[in-house]
Amino acid sequence: MGSEMPAAGRRWWQTWTAWVMWMLLMVAMWVGIHWYNLASTMKTAEEALVSMCDERARMLQDQFAVSVNHVHALGILISTFHYQKNPSALDQNTFAFYTGMTAFERPLLNGVAYAQRVLHSERENFESQQGWTIKTMKREPSPKQDEYAPVIFSQETVSYLEVLDMMSGEEDRENILRARATGKAVLTKPFRLLESNHLGVVLTFPVYRVGLPIDATIEQRVEATAGYLGGAFDVESLVDNLLRKLAGNQDIVVNVFDVTNISDPLIMYGPPDSEGYKRLAHVSMLDFGDPFRKHQMECRYSQKPPIPWSAITTPSGIVVILMLGAYILYAAYSRYDTVKEDCRKMEELKVQAEAADVAKSQFLATVSHEIRTPMNGVLGMLDMLLDTDLNLTQKDYAQTAQVCGKALISLINEVLDRAKIEAGMLEIEAVPFNLRSILDDVLSLFSAKSREKGIELAAFVSNSVPEVLTGDPGRFRQIITNLVGNSLKFTERGHILVHVHLAEYSNMLIDGMACSGVNGKAHEIDYKCDETEFNTLSGLEAADDRNSWENFRLLVSNEASPNGMPGEKDLNAVTLVVTVEDSGVGIPLHAQDRVFTPFMQADSSTSRNYGGTGIGLSISKCLVELMGGRINFLSRPNVGSTFTFTAVLQRSSGSTGSDPKRSLLEDLPTSFKGMKALLVDERPVRAAVTNYHLHRLGICVEVAPTTEMALSALSRKNGCLKARSLPKVLLVEKDSWNKNDVCLWSQLLEWKQSSHIYEVPKLILLETSECEKSKYEPFVDMVIVKPLRASTLAVCLQQSLGMYNQLRNELPNESVLLRTLLLGKNILVVDDNKVNLRVAAAALKKYGAKAECAESGKEALTLLQLPHKFDACFMDVQMPEMDGFEATRQIRLIESEANEQVKVKSSLPNGVEWHLPILAMTADVIQATYEECMKCGMDGYVSKPFDEEQLYQAVAKFVASNKPVVES
């Protein structure tokens, strides 16, 4: 037993020691945290005190400075109207009235008074003029002295100062002498004011006569002194009013001191120093503008800041948490191995995902290249085949194959665009382009299909939209093409209208779609078509009632000032609102939530009935968001759909640049300017669209709803019209053509023979379907089948008016422009595919270029040894042995060495430098490939298969018909 007790005792002693040590550690930690919280509280209180004191000091200075400025202005007023006017425009009553009315501008001053400087030699004359004797502050006649400062003008609140000599008091005399010597406002030391018995100071400001130079000496200032303007500041009232406006005033004690004599500071405001908690105090210096006197504000808490509960609860909570620490550490350690294993697996999954993403991009690049390479040959050979002599059947077969090939390329582009968007590699260009030309291109693209269906397809651009904008024309065209293509696909009758306005003039912004019925969320009723005539492009009902003629007319009327952009914060930014409206089948209510979801369609029958992959709208949504806009829609089953999106573009600083085919002014002829036309159309929206296209040609249009009203317009004023005011063209919409109009041509001829009209205008009928064209041709001069475009209207009008040769000279086509650029140029084409070589060489030779082919990068290097004859090089990227990237790097290295030698040998600092424009020619359109092309030294990028427009855009940047390719 005796041997066991010591062991048990030792265990007990160890346990008790560990418990005591642990408790002491906890107590020490509690005390430390408690003191730390107290110190933090005191520091926070000190920072709050500093902030409050500085804020009060700043506000006191600001209000004092405002009052001083008003006194300064009053001094200028006295100098101007009292001393420059003869007789003086000021007297005591005027001064008292004015200062009383403007007293609210000087809330810190009890009153202001003006004392005139009077020399002893002038005293007798002065007293006789004023009718009173100059007196001292004690109301006694002023004794003889060198000069006096009697108060002649005073505010009613200090009227007791009149006739008193301000220089009779020692303090006032000192202030006056300092003020006129420095030209600044000076202050007295604190004293008790006469009326309120509050502590205050007197502000003295010199008033000089006109003509005092800026750098005047003291003697010049004394000589030019006319008088002194003074005002009494009630410091106690001032600080009291200030503190009442601020929060937390009950917590601090404020003192204001005059510390000009630092050993004997004078208190200006506040209780004695014994009040308040002095351990926390802050001093802020005050600058009242007087360089001779110094002031300061001292702030301190009225009582010691209380100890916060957090100083007790925080350490107590930490102690409790530490008591649970052992268990938490044990649980955390037990979880450590599991989490570590999970992290290892996540890293493996991340590596696999990244590898899959790289493989996906590589797969898309490879598939794109492998499909585009043969398609380049197919489409190129078809293009060459169409340039040969074919009969109608053969030409139809070749054109059909070409259309199918382009459709396949379009499908590939959509899939690649979607892949780029998911990878975040799709970028938006910023180049100048013509919006109206793009819409014309889209109308041309779908014109055959719209004519086949007999539906109205039209575009309208507001006059307020700038002619040239900066943005991404390709992506903008892609959005419009997707929306119009969808509308045309699902519309069998009626119309499709694209109209563009500035967001400032449009009441159809995307944000406005939050109202009832947006995206088809209206009451689920069964929409049925009826024969009711609506005021739309085709007369059929539109899904969005806000696109009515009333709103459309309001938008057109707001275009009176095309250059004005109200509410535009950035003058260079242009926010467009683009609306595509159709009268198709609409989107079922249950499918409207997933319209912008990739590869999703209304139902499984949609793809079978109408075709498509279901990714066009999702791509359009992403493109719109990249352009800084939003897209939304409103659709009603069996009525139609209206898609609206915004896009933020930039104003172009000039024209579209050196690219002539992009300039609208050069695309459209000028021979129609000033011509008059008469349009017969009973639908105002359609009439506005036709007027828009005619206006682009410079034609003045008058609109009549019926042919009867048109004839009345032709025969007005007793049937006698001057030749210059007679319309050259009479355009009639088919809907406005009735049975009686069959004889319209004969009636116009009869009017001319009877001198009822001076000249018979050309009669042109506007039709939507090719099938109906032949039916009306015998009765009119011409039938124009829609959709209308400015260029097609120009061609039709020149045919009707006999202006064909003139217009043809004004409208050079793309082939002529390409031939102008490429004629006589030596171009090297490098590609390992012989078919592609034939296609590229034939396309270049078609436009007058001299093409030479190379089947590998090594062969290209041999041909491009300096000096060489080539003006440009089209380089394939993926080739065996030496790819296009390496070949370009070698070419640039050769050119760099040659240029260095030229600089060394030439006496001129800038000799002729070799730089061959190299354009990548590849079927790989992934962004990474483009970046690699630019990195290795290539100048441009052409994706296979390329057409005339793409070839022109690539060549026009580097090859000009009037200068060599070698840079100098």
The rounded Cα 951 to chain-centroid distance in angstroms is 33
Look at residue 634 and tell me whether its pLDDT is greater than 60.
Answer: yes
The two tokens of residue 831 are 């590609």
Q: Which residues contact 503 (CB under 8 A, 6 or more apart)?
A: 509, 575, 576, 577, 646
Look at residue 16 and tell me whether its pLDDT is greater than 70.
Answer: yes
Q: At what angle do helices 616-626 and 392-423 cross, to 10 degrees?
A: 60
In whole angstroms, what is the distance from residue 81 CA to residue 413 CA? Answer: 82
Mean pLDDT, range 644-649, rounded to an integer: 93
Mean pLDDT, range 521-526, rounded to an integer: 37
In whole angstroms, what is the distance from residue 934 CA to residue 566 CA? Answer: 42
The two tokens of residue 670 are 């000028």
The two tokens of residue 752 are 């001319």
Residue 421: what are its φ and ψ, rounded to 5°?
-65, -45
Look at residue 579 and tell me whether its pLDDT is greater than 90.
Answer: yes
Look at residue 566 and tell me whether its pLDDT is greater than 80.
Answer: no
pLDDT in tens, 846-904: 878 888 999 888 899 989 888 888 988 988 888 888 888 899 999 999 988 888 887 77
Mean pLDDT, all residues of the chain: 78
Mean pLDDT, range 400-408, rounded to an integer: 78
In whole angstroms, what is the distance from residue 616 CA to residue 643 CA? Answer: 13
pLDDT at 758: 65
More confident residue, 616 or 957: 616
pLDDT at 498: 94
Say whether 711 sits in a helix, a strand or coil: helix
Burial zone of 417 (CB within 10 Å; 0-12 exposed, 13-18 middle, 19+ buried): buried
pLDDT classification of 510: cutoffs 50, 70, 90: very low
- Picking from 294, 870, 690, 468, the residue whose alpha carbon sits closest to that of residue 862 is 870
In whole angstroms, what is the distance from residue 184 CA to residue 290 CA? Answer: 7
Look at residue 751 and tell me whether its pLDDT is greater than 90.
Answer: no
pLDDT classification of 662: cutoffs 50, 70, 90: very low
Which helix (H) or strand (E) is 470 found in, with range? strand 468-471
Which residues are 119's β-sheet partners? Answer: 147
Mean pLDDT, range 625-638, rounded to an integer: 90
Q: Fold for domain 676-715+724-801? A: Rossmann fold (3.40.50)
In whole angstroms, what is the distance from residue 551 CA to residue 791 CA? Answer: 28
pLDDT classification of 457: cutoffs 50, 70, 90: very high
In whole angstroms, what is the distance from residue 115 CA to residue 149 CA? Answer: 5
Look at residue 341 and tell me whether its pLDDT is greater than 50.
Answer: yes
Show the beta-strand stretches assigned E in 117-198.
118-119, 147-148, 151-154, 186-187, 191-192
CATH of 814-961, one of 3.40.50.1580, 3.40.50.2300, 3.40.50.1010, 3.40.50.300: 3.40.50.2300
Mean pLDDT, range 678-690, rounded to an integer: 89
- Find the range with the poorest average confidence among 322-331, 833-842, 869-878, 890-899: 322-331
The two tokens of residue 491 are 């519309």
pLDDT classification of 581: cutoffs 50, 70, 90: very high
Q: What percent of the chain has pLDDT over 70?
A: 78
Mean pLDDT, range 810-815, rounded to an integer: 50
pLDDT at 578: 94
pLDDT in tens, 247-278: 555 578 888 888 888 888 888 887 776 677 77
In whole angstroms, what is the distance from residue 573 CA to residue 60 CA? Answer: 45
The two tokens of residue 121 are 């030699």
Burial zone of 885 (CB within 10 Å; 0-12 exposed, 13-18 middle, 19+ buried): buried
pLDDT at 657: 42
In whole angstroms, what is the distance from residue 627 CA to residue 613 CA? Answer: 24
Q: Which residues contact 20 (CB under 8 A, 6 or more apart)?
A: none
Look at residue 511 and tell me whether its pLDDT is greater than 50.
Answer: no
Quick one: how many helices (H) and strands (E) in the chain?
27, 29
pLDDT classification of 940: cutoffs 50, 70, 90: confident
**Placement of tokens 């450590």 in the chain:** 336
In whole angstroms, what is the distance from residue 949 CA to residue 952 CA? Answer: 5
**Placement of tokens 């040659």 in the chain:** 898
Second-level CATH architecture of 349-423: Orthogonal Bundle (1.10)
pLDDT in tens, 131-159: 888 888 888 888 888 899 999 898 888 88
Span(s) in the chain for CATH 3.40.50.2300: 676-715+724-801, 814-961
CB distance 850 to 824 below 8 Å: yes
- Picking from 925, 933, 939, 958, the residue whose alpha carbon sits closest to that of residue 420 is 925
- Find the range with the poorest average confidence among 315-324, 717-726, 895-904: 717-726
- What would the CATH number be for the domain defined by 431-511+534-556+572-651? 3.30.565.10
More confident residue, 629 or 269: 629
pLDDT at 85: 79
Span(s) in the chain for CATH 1.10.287.130: 349-423
pLDDT at 599: 61
Mean pLDDT, range 208-234, rounded to an integer: 85
- Find the range with the poorest average confidence among 224-228, 247-251, 413-417, 735-739: 247-251
pLDDT at 664: 39
Show the beta-strand stretches assigned E in 136-208.
147-148, 151-154, 186-187, 191-192, 199-208
Mean pLDDT, range 779-799, rounded to an integer: 83
Among 107-121, 703-717, 797-811, 812-826, top mean pLDDT goes to 107-121
Q: Which residues contact 879 (CB under 8 A, 6 or more apart)?
A: 830, 831, 832, 856, 857, 887
Q: What percent of the chain has pLDDT over 90?
A: 7
Second-level CATH architecture of 61-273+287-297: 2-Layer Sandwich (3.30)
pLDDT at 844: 81
